[in-house]
C-alpha cells in the first residue's frame, strides 16, 4: 500500500503518512535517512503495527520503520508525533 508523508518530527524521529484509504500511519524512523513531507512510501502491509522495511518511492530508498498507530485524522497524527 502506498502512503504520502504528511507529518514530520525529525527531532523525535516520528512521522505520519496518509494511506490510500485516508488513514494516517504513524511510525518511528529507525534508519538514519530522513523523510520529507510529500515523499511517497510503500509497503504491502503498511496497516499493521510493528517493524517494517518500507520503500521511499520518491527518493528510491529503503528504510526501517516501526509502525506505532493508525489513526483517522491529521490532528491526531500530529499529536502522536508530538507536534
Its domain, for residue 71, covers: 2-80
State how many domains the chain has.
1
Q: Are 46 and 3 in contact (CB under 8 A)?
A: yes
Query: pTM of this prediction?
Result: 0.94
Q: Are 72 and 23 in contact (CB under 8 A)?
A: yes
Interval 1-44: pLDDT, tens: 999 999 999 999 999 999 999 999 999 999 877 899 999 999 99
Grid cell locating 38:
510529500
Amino acid at each position: 500500500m502506498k502512503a504520502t508523508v504528511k507529518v514530520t518530527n525529525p527531532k523525535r524521529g516520528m512521522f505520519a503518512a496518509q494511506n490510500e484509504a485516508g488513514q494516517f500511519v504513524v511510525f518511528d524512523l529507525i534508519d538514519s535517512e530522513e523523510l520529507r513531507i510529500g515523499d511517497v512510501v510503500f509497503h504491502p502491509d503498511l496497516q499493521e503495527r510493528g517493524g517494517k522495511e518500507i520503500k521511499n518511492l520518491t527518493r528510491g530508498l529503503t528504510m526501517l520503520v516501526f509502525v506505532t498507530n493508525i489513526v483517522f485524522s491529521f490532528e491526531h497524527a500530529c499529536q502522536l508525533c508530538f507536534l
